[in-house]
Amino acid sequence: MSSFNFYDVEQNTEEWFGMRAGKLTSSSLSKVMANYGKSFGDPAKQLAVNIALEQVTGVRAGSSYSNEHMDRGHEQEPIARTHYEAINFCEVSNGGFFDNGFMGCSPDGLVREEGVIEIKSALPHVHYARVKRGGLDPVYKWQCISNLEQTGRDWLDFISFCPDFPEDQKMFCYRVHKGQFQEEVAMIEDRATLFSALVEETKEKIMGSKYIINVERGEAG
């Protein structure tokens, strides 16, 4: 992996969404990695349909989906980034989009030449659980490992941010290094190869489908 093309594009813009269309991105990777060693589950199969459709049409599937958690994350991410910069005396640059062919990723920011960050806005009980765990949230394990590998960076800071906590407790930051995940990277590469084949199979079925009219009943079938 890591033979990327980097595009310094603003995230959540039409241009950015267009670059992601038809690719397996880090944010969706957990669906593909679930049940590793077994057949893909329904979430992965549904993702394969969306990616196949995007490759066929060039238009992102499910583009209208949003929820309050996503909206909160978009609002609080710049605040968390500024908080991180102040604490670490550094400047975070745009994460843009890293294109690795079939795969791609959009980290929340880049730190100098060696670092990358992933910010997660959290409700109080979720933030507390992350602080108590004192490590990487397993929900985002595959996303973080993939971001590290696809960007070619040395380390990633996983950031949990909750503005409801006291000032000095609003941010929890846990750093991981690329060298920790050699086995997991091999698993991702193995699973991505199988998933790519599933997408191709799905695309062939989409391209080969026909719109059939039931003449006798006058209905589409």
Instruction: Read off the pLDDT of residues 48-64 as tens digits, 9 standing for 90 and up.
Output: 999 999 999 988 886 55
At residue 144, the pLDDT reads 98
* pLDDT value of position 114: 97
pLDDT of residue 181: 97
Q: Which fold has domain 5-220?
A: Lambda Exonuclease; Chain A (3.90.320)
* pLDDT for 124 beyond 60: yes
Q: Are 156 and 137 in contact (CB under 8 A)?
A: no
Summarize the confidence of residues 190-194 as an average pLDDT. 98
Res. 216: pLDDT tops 70: no
50: DSSP letter: H
pLDDT at 175 over 80: yes
Q: Are strands 92-93 and 109-111 parallel, antiparallel or unpaired?
A: antiparallel
User: What pLDDT score does 60 carry?
Assistant: 85
Q: Are 19 and 7 in contact (CB under 8 A)?
A: yes
Using only C-alpha atoms, what is the Rg of the chain?
19
- The whole-number pLDDT of residue 221 equals 44
Query: Over 71-133, what HEC string results?
Result: HHHHHHHHHHHHHHHHHHCCCEECCCEEEECCEEECCCEEECCCEEEEEEECCHHHHHHHHHH
Contacts of 65 (CB under 8 A, 6+ apart): none
Question: In the structure, how many helices (H) and strands (E) does the chain have?
Answer: 7, 11
pLDDT of residue 62: 66
Classify the phi-psi angles of 118: left when phi > 0, otherwise alpha if psi is within -120 to 50, otherwise beta: beta
Give the pLDDT score at 70. Answer: 60
Q: For residue 67, is pLDDT > 60? A: no
Cβ distance 199 to 55 under 8 Å? yes
Per domain, the residue ranges of the chain are 5-220
